[in-house]
Amino acid sequence: MRLPRPRNDPRQYDDLAGEWWRADGPFAMLHWLAEARAALVPPATEPGAVLVDVGCGAGLLAPHLRGRGYRHVGVDLVRSALEQAASHGVTPVVGHASALPLADASADVVVAGEILEHVTDLGTTVAELCRVLRPGGRLVLDTLNDTPVSRLLAVGLAERMPRAPRGIHDPALFVDPARLTRLCAGHGVRLEVRGIRPTVPAVAGWLAGRRPVPGRRRIVPFASTAVLYQGRGVKRQEKSVM
């Protein structure tokens, strides 16, 4: 009998490797969030544009980026997830979000979806996201807010649901949007944030075990950032020296 993993242990994703692409499985909301995240990614403007997907998991973003013109590079620690990402057209790179094995200014877009609430060194991670982003490039992210209601819903309530994974999150690592905005600004990215939430029909359908209806939005904007929020920003262009 396997002992329970510690909270936020990346080995949990190996334990759940067979669940990534089940749209009605325990990672269903990650599918919904990937679709909403992709809506913030503009089409590539130049041939050979690179999108770096930090914490890519099994590549759930990939289907929503087809036809956008990017080379999709996925960085993750979990090799079993990267193997699946590669089968969906993602170029896999083993690496940690706080030490990306990529060159400076090598990405036209950097995406960090549902990863910032898992890192223990947020400042270093944000610095890395911004380092690999070229001037004029776009940063897109989503994460969980560091509030009592977020901890209650994302951990206290969600982990009691019969179809949800246990122990994925450590609420001590949830991310305050004001702090995140300041960190990004320190590296030349002016981040704009907005609240998002899953729709009631989507959650009810998932709990009932129904497969999602194609074409129906499952994540929508919300007036409050108290639980889930998205962020996007553009890295400041370097001033030319005359």
Residue 159: phi, psi to the nearest 5? -75, -5
Predicted pLDDT of residue 176:
98
Give kind and range of the element (H or E) at residue 29: helix 28-38
Among 32, 26, 92, 100, smallest CA distance to 60 is for 32
First and final C-alpha spacing in the chain: 68
Residue 52: phi, psi to the nearest 5? -100, 120
CA distances from 189 to 38, 71, 143, 216, 218 (A): 19, 22, 17, 32, 28
Mean pLDDT of the chain: 94
Q: Does the pLDDT value for residue 165 go beyond 90?
A: no
Fold held by 11-234: Rossmann fold (3.40.50)
Residue ranges of domains in the chain? 11-234
Contacts with 31 (C-beta within 8 Å, 6 or more apart), sequence order = 23, 60, 212
Q: What is the DSSP letter of 33?
A: H
In this structure, are residues 140 and 40 in contact, taking their beta carbons and an 8 Å threshold?
A: yes
Predicted structure pTM score: 0.94
pLDDT digits (tens, 9 = 90+) for 37-55: 999 999 999 999 999 999 9
pLDDT digits (tens, 9 = 90+) for 175-204: 999 999 999 999 999 999 999 999 999 998
